Amino acid sequence: MAYGRLGRRTWMAAAGVLAAGLWGCSRPVPPAPVTEVRAVQVAALPSTPEDAQWGSGEAFRAPLILQDMVEPRKMVAGATEVTVRALTDGKSIAFRLEWADATEDSVRDAARFTDACAVQLPSNSGPDTPAPQMGEPGRPVEIAFWTATAQAFIDGRPDDLKSLHPNANIDHYPFEAPGLEKTPGKAEEMAKQYAPAKSLGNIVSPSPKKSVQDLMADGPGTMRPAPSQSSTGLGRRTGAGWAVVITRPLPSGLAPGGTSLVAFAVWNGSDGDVGGRKMRTVWIPLTLTGAKKP
Amino acid sequence: MPRVYNWQLGREMSYWYPEVRAKKQFGAIFDVNKCIACQTCTLACKTTWTSGKGQESMLWNNVESKPYGFYPLGWDVKLLDMLGAQDWKGKTYQGKTIFESAPAGERVLGWRPDSRDYAYPNVGEDDCAGDITKGAHMTLPHMNWFFYLARICNHCTYPGCLAACPRGSIYKRPEDGIVLVDQGKCRGYQECVKACPYKKVFFNPMTGTSEKCIGCYPKQEQGLAPQCFSNCIGKIRMAGSISKPDQMREDNPIDYLIHVKKIALPLFPQFGLEPNVYYVPPLHAPAAFLTQIFGPGVEEATKAYLNAPNDPDLMGLLALFGSTEQIIPRFRRVGGEMLGLDEDGTELIRVPIQEPKYIRMAVDAARGVLLTNVP
Ligand code: SF4
Ligand code: SF4
Ligand code: SF4
């Protein structure tokens, strides 16, 4: 693929040519196309996608392409673009992603997948850019991953079988046997034995408090939880799809006035999108407004 | 894709990873003729491992009536249909495996059942069309027969589940070949569910991960047979280890029955996974059906099985099935008895090859009473 470390330089060059061409024009010209994600500095970051502050930033319409590098792949293209806005308060950066998706898929079950989106940044904002497809060995990327399933739990859907299958009839769980409540913690300990992923603290097991997972990767198939789970998010259905805010701390080395790269991905659950079956962008230049610290 | 050797197909095939065999491979034999569909095995597994939230319709062990029973619904016929008609030439498979017929963008040919497909685990139980006196009520491709097929994960030599996981969350233990999903690493993509032709990986919507039969490894590590084996009422199961044909050991019960006596066959060998649970085919089902599901060795297996009364080694080994909770790695026949031995030759169990017969007169003359056989 051509979207390797060269991608960034190509983007910068394109932006330069455009700027030169417009210099010195006296008549009013149409606004220059937006070629980067500009994170505008604000005093306090909004937490909802409806917040009026989002109007202060320019929208970047990022074309989406199929993940086409590793099997299993998505073969038929889904959403064609994601509209991105960004704001920063100097410590964190918030992205607002909006894309078209006719169906709300927030249930995960056998053969049912969740809608989702993700923001990817290089761990190191320096010139040594990792490959945009999940980074590469020695050049890791950081990913903040929002899912509609986690959002649904936060919005109040109970985390039980009845919420998936209202008519399901469950006779008995051994950890709900009468009498267990007499020993504090006994029932929970027993329930854990039948839920190994939860016992191991796997972050895909529902956590009702957070809709965003912090992940890192250094190549396809290497994604793992990041040491700190500090990103937050909120997603809402729009008329035509989703609008999602993902807020994460600025990666190390990135500050107001600085630049880096950013990439996005979206998943449509009812299309069977999951893991590498997704629509993604190439690296996009990211600029933080504001004065550089001396 | 790397080329690997699959002895069940009698040829090399393509697989996602190079050939790496376990030091010792967990293997088992189920004698279909003895299964009574009591589902004790199903419950033994269920109560031990899958009584949690999100595991309600998950049966790592299940027993279905063939030809009309399926769990999940249509698991085998759907894939057979996708694969299309394929051929064997003698014992060499001429057709394509699920790895060789993977469509563009996929690692394996497969499909994903949805929650309704798991909702009727005992569909088709005892279904057998045909009314003995008045003729059949309807005409179906399979008349007047059925058999019980007990199924667990095959801990395949070339697991479809493992090949399909893009994250490498599934691994095969080098010491015993047991295939496990790492519950800390799995992200619930369900690629394994799609890829396993036997549908023996299940998605748990409450943990968000895929879960599967663990071969009761905590028991096996202590030399004990898995729960669904040691609790089997019909004593149809024997657990042990299986070697490649060229490395087989004649005193290993599993090797002997599979490689020497050839009485047990893999389930759908044509899918290409080299599954490690073997079946003694049922005697009364049509050979064409049995060949489709067990491959080309059916006739030979049936012949050997029927000859068991004249074959004391075979008889003795069949008598060892379910005789002890311990795994029997070696055997030795001593006259009319079959000995199950530990790796070092220590005796674990001793069974008579022929159960002793006691003949009792119908009348107890001394007491002047009739004797009955009410248990
Ligand atoms: S316990 Fe044994 S006999 Fe009963 S259904 Fe299971 S395999 Fe068959
Ligand atoms: S039977 Fe299925 S789950 Fe078990 S090892 Fe084979 S492919 Fe994997
Ligand atoms: S081997 Fe153990 S885990 Fe696997 S089906 Fe049997 S009882 Fe269940």
Mean pLDDT value of segment A7-24:
39
Q: Which of B160, B166, B322, B317 is nearest to B236 (CA)?
A: B322
Q: What is the 3-state secondary structure (H, E, C) of B170-199?
A: EEECCCCCCEEECCCCCCCCCHHHHHCCCC
pLDDT of the residue at B214 = 98
Q: What are B55-101's pLDDT values in tens digits? A: 999 999 999 999 999 999 999 999 999 999 999 999 999 999 999 99
pLDDT of the residue at B193 = 98
Shared domain for A182 and A141, answered yes or no, is no
pLDDT at residue A22 tops 50: no
Shared domain for A144 and A166, answered yes or no, is no
Q: Which of A119, A38, A97 is nearest to A242 (CA)?
A: A97
- When CB atoms are compared, the residue of A72, A149, A193 closest to B105 is A72
Mean pLDDT value of segment A143-159:
95
**Cα torsion at B280, B283, B288, B291 (round to 10°)?**
10
User: Which of the 8 DSSP states describes residue B117?
Assistant: G
Instruction: Answer yes or no: do A204 and B187 touch at CB < 8 A.
Output: yes
Strands B337-341 and B347-352: antiparallel
Question: Domain boundary at A170, A185, A206, which?
Answer: A206
Mean pLDDT value of segment A242-265:
96
A23 in a structural domain: no
A111 in a structural domain: yes
A240 in a structural domain: yes
Q: Determine contact, residues B145/B285, Cβ cutoff 8 Å.
A: yes
Question: Domain boundary at A141, A175, A206, which?
Answer: A206
Query: Which are the contacts of B326, defined by CB distance < 8 A and separation ≥ 6?
Result: B223, B224, B225, B340, B342, B348, B349
Q: Among B49, B178, B200, B221, which residue has the most ligand 3 atoms within 8 Å of its CB, making it the best to mutate?
A: B49
Shared domain for A50 and A152, answered yes or no, is yes
A233 in a structural domain: yes
Shared domain for A148 and A262, answered yes or no, is yes
A169 in a structural domain: yes
In chain B the domains, ranked by start, together with CATH numbers, are 3-245 (3.30.70.20)
pLDDT of the residue at A125 = 83
Q: Residue A263 C-alpha to ligand 3 middle, in angstroms?
A: 44
A1 in a structural domain: no
Q: Residue B276 C-alpha to ligand 2 middle, in angstroms?
A: 10
Shared domain for A221 and A112, answered yes or no, is yes
Higher pLDDT, A23 or B219: B219
Shared domain for A75 and A188, answered yes or no, is no
A250 in a structural domain: yes
Range of the domain at A168: 161-206
A26 in a structural domain: no
- When CB atoms are compared, the residue of B53, B164, B202 closest to A195 is B53
Instruction: Answer yes or no: do B205 and A201 touch at CB < 8 A.
Output: no
Number of domains, chain A:
2
Distance CA(B41)–CA(B234), nearest Å, equals: 10
